[in-house]
Structure 1
Amino acid sequence: MPANRNALIRYKTIDTCLRNPYRRWTLDDLVKACSEALYEYEGIDKGISRRAVQMDIQVMRSEKLGYNAPIEVYENKYYRYADLDYTITRLPLSQNDVAVLSETVNLLRQFLDFDYFSEMADVIGRLQDRVAVAKHHSSAVIDFERNRNLTGLEYLNPIYDAIMYRQTLHVRYRSFKSRITKDYYIYPYLLKEYRNRWFVFGARTGDRELINLALDRIWELSPANDIPYHLSEDFRPEIFFEDVIGVTKHERLSKATIRFKADSRQSPYILTKPLHASQTLIEQCKDGSMIFEITVVLNPELYTVLMGFGPGVKVLSPEKVVKEMRKLYQEGYENYKK
């Protein structure tokens, strides 16, 4: 086992011994206790040297691990804690420790929808309480975007298992545009979250065309045990999503370099939070507006993002995208026209 883990076992053993005020502990006593603990927990039967325990005591006394243990020698022979209430298991947390723990707890909470993390729920809850106490019950400093009312989350774990264990799936699915359910047999490859919705990417059996299905539109899910799983060597998420905003990408969608102008109100936000990794600044205008370019697939998510800026963004090219934006704004205008 790693030496660090063995050292932690020795530190804890020495701490347990020195917290017992009803026994006088010599160095040999501590060596014996550490040797027995290493054998019990790690199966190490070669024992430990006096020198190693002496070094452990020096480390515990120092600031190296933050212990600063008040270990003293009395009667030139015995070891004890000068502070009878001291223990290395009750070290005070620094403000930085509390901040790091708080962020970690909030991050871990995002994974509780998966069964693999459900066993951590109690641990995370207790840790959250301890952090709250350490922070004197101050309010949260991080709030992750989350939609607990989203349907389809019950399919996260079965799909995760299917991907991990390479299991073909039968999916009964109804899109927002359809009134009937459709049967899909897919080889699942990836679970992806986008704007608080989960999607499964996989290839259809037969033509092996890559598709994505929203989990909140799944009506029924079951393993297709009679269809052998096919692992695609071509689907690589780190490459597949390079030119995509959102999740929609297929052969029928073209890719283009889009040039757009952001006014003085929107340009600082777009400059500091790019619409896409390909975004480049083309020109800074005297009035504070800026002209940008991105190279992406022309999918519905792209238009949703562009429309979200309202009049603050104007697409300049290509003409195909300009026409689509004009159409969308015209439809919006009709909705509000008296």
Structure 2
Amino acid sequence: MNSIEILKRLKDFDEMISNPSIRFSHKYVLNHRSEYADIGIATFNRDIKKLKDLVNQRYGELAELYDDNLLKNDRKSASYYYALPNIRAFDDLNTSDSQKLIELLNTVIQLFPENEALIQKITAKINVNYPNKENKKIHWDPLQLIFEGKRSGSHYLKELLDYILQKKPIKISYGLKEYRILPVLIKEYHNGWYASWYVLAKELETNSHLTTSVSTKGLRCFAVEKIVKISQIKEQINLDIKPDFNPGLYFKNILGIWRKNIENLPHDPPTIEVKFKVKKDSWIKNYLTSHPIHFSQVLVNQEDGSQIGHICIEDTEDLTNLFIKYADQFTVLEPLNLREKIKNSIRKSLEEYK
């Protein structure tokens, strides 16, 4: 087999390993990729060794933190996986190609302004996956995107994304206040009225001599549309970012984007178990199947055609508002305090229509 064929196989393996829905192993390759059906275990192990070397070489200091073991082996299932999200041994484009593509997309915006929001998303994804020399590769995904459409605050998207990729602290004028922050993630959210950009960030100490520990516990969201000005912080800020830091986990146990103040809590707010009933003739039954309220959602069909649902989630206003909004489709059964809160809100609304 020539070197081109080996390289193609390594790239295919790299793509499969990075796919979280695949439990990559020699057995998986034999069962699902017919073009590699004749690959023996010795060849497979050599390929794994090459991928380990490539990924460790590519990520340098990060690999050292993981003892040169970014490509891990689950011995129980004999499968392989990357230790962190967005780890890849190969890129499909080189940096030069990606920057030329961005320039082309910026020209396209001028020709087709109605597609500006979509093109901005594509450009942002290219910047993340193919950073230029100033932007270092980070080990978490700095974008959480949803559907098409223009967003408030879009003009700050690229600038904020660059600062995230550079791990560079900034100062923002936000409404009437100023904040010193380290931006770590940009998220889209639709609040029922319109979709907008939000930046998840760590507020920084005013004393630059102190080291700021960056974890999900100390993060907060800022609405990008409320940012008036962004400027760089010139002094050196000492940051402690652990290699397993993943800002996306900030949203793991919530619906929506806003959490209760968790800065002064010794640990994350507790989750609650919500039990709800979906009407048997409700249109929302199919919707909940394809679009769960939360990843913890479980639906159990009942004999009368209704469904009983369970989710384990933090108690937030967005959660309450969801059940109020669709109160004619499903009913909260437990916990009782959430049920009473919803009932009182609906009662007050009804009084306005008397």
Shorter-chain TM-score: what band?
A: 0.5 to 0.7
**1:214 and 2:231 correspond:** no
Do structure 1's residue 153 and structure 2's residue 154 form an aligned pair?
Answer: yes
Give the AA of the match of 1:161. Answer: D
Question: Structure 1 segments of 4 or more deviating over 4 A?
Answer: 113-119
Q: Deviation digits for residues 166-197 of structure 1, max 9, x if unmatched?
A: 111111223xxxxxx22211111111112232
5+ long unaligned stretches in structure 2: 6-114, 128-145, 206-211
> 1:235 Cα deviation (Å)?
4.2
**Shift in alpha-carbon separation, 1:146–1:109, aligned structure 2, 3 A:** closer
Q: For 1:268 and 1:116, how far apart are their aligned partners in 2?
A: 33
Q: In percent, how many aligned pairs have the same letter?
A: 22
State the match for 2:285 in structure 1: 267
Q: 1:302 aligns with which of 312, 319, 330?
A: 319
Following TM superposition, by how much is the alpha carbon of 1:221 offset from its aligned partner in structure 2, in angstroms? Answer: 1.7
Partner letter of residue 284 of structure 1? N
- Secondary structure at 1:248 match in 2: coil
Partner of 1:236: 246
SS of the residue corresponding to residue 239 of structure 2 reads coil
Q: CA deviation at 1:152?
A: 1.0
Which structure 1 residue ranges, 5 or more long, are not aligned? 5-106, 120-143, 175-180
Partner of 1:160, secondary structure, is helix
Aligned to 2:310: 293
Q: Cα–Cα, structure 1 residues 113 and 269, in superposed 2: closer, same or farther, change >3 Å? A: closer
Give the Cα–Cα distance (whole angstroms) in 2 for the partners of residues 187 and 117 of structure 1.
20
335, 338, 341: which one aligns with 1:324:
341
Deviation, structure 1 residue 305: 2.4
| Alignment correspondent of 1:171 | 172
Structure 1 residue 159, shift from structure 2 partner: 0.8
Partner in structure 2 of residue 31 of structure 1: none
SS for the counterpart of 1:112 is: helix
Q: Which structure's CA Rg is the greater one?
A: 1
What's the CA shift for 1:214? Answer: 1.2
Q: Tell me if the contact between 1:263 and 1:290 (Cα under 8 Å) persists in the aligned partners.
A: yes
CA contact (8 A) 2:198 2:222 kept: yes
1:204-263 Cα deviation digits (max 9, x unpaired) = 112863111111122222222225152533741353332122222342754211111111
State the shift of 1:109 in Å. 7.1
**Alignment correspondent of 1:280:** 298
TM-score, length basis structure 1: 0.53
Q: CA RMSD in A?
A: 3.4
User: Please, what TM-score do these two structures have when normalized by structure 2?
Assistant: 0.51
Contact map agreement 2:117 2:148 (CA 8 A) in 1: no
Contact preservation (8 Å) 1:189, 1:202? yes
The answer to whether the Cα contact below 8 Å between 2:153 and 2:196 also exists between their aligned partners in 1 is no
1:112 aligns to 2:120 (yes or no) = yes
Q: Would you say the 8 A contact 2:172–2:227 is kept in 1?
A: yes
Whole-angstrom CA distance in 2 between matches of 1:298 and 1:309: 17
Cα distance 1:216–1:223, how it changes in 2: closer, same or farther (>3 A)? same
Secondary structure at the aligned position of 2:230 is classed as strand
Matched, 1:333 2:353: no
Distance 1:147 1:243 in 2: 26
Query: For this pair of structures, how many residues does the alignment match?
Result: 206
Q: Is the 8 A contact 2:164 2:183 kept in 1?
A: yes
Q: 1:245 aligns with which of 236, 250, 255?
A: 255
Give the partner amino acid of 1:309.
Y
Q: 1:291 to 1:162 in 2, by over 3 A?
A: same
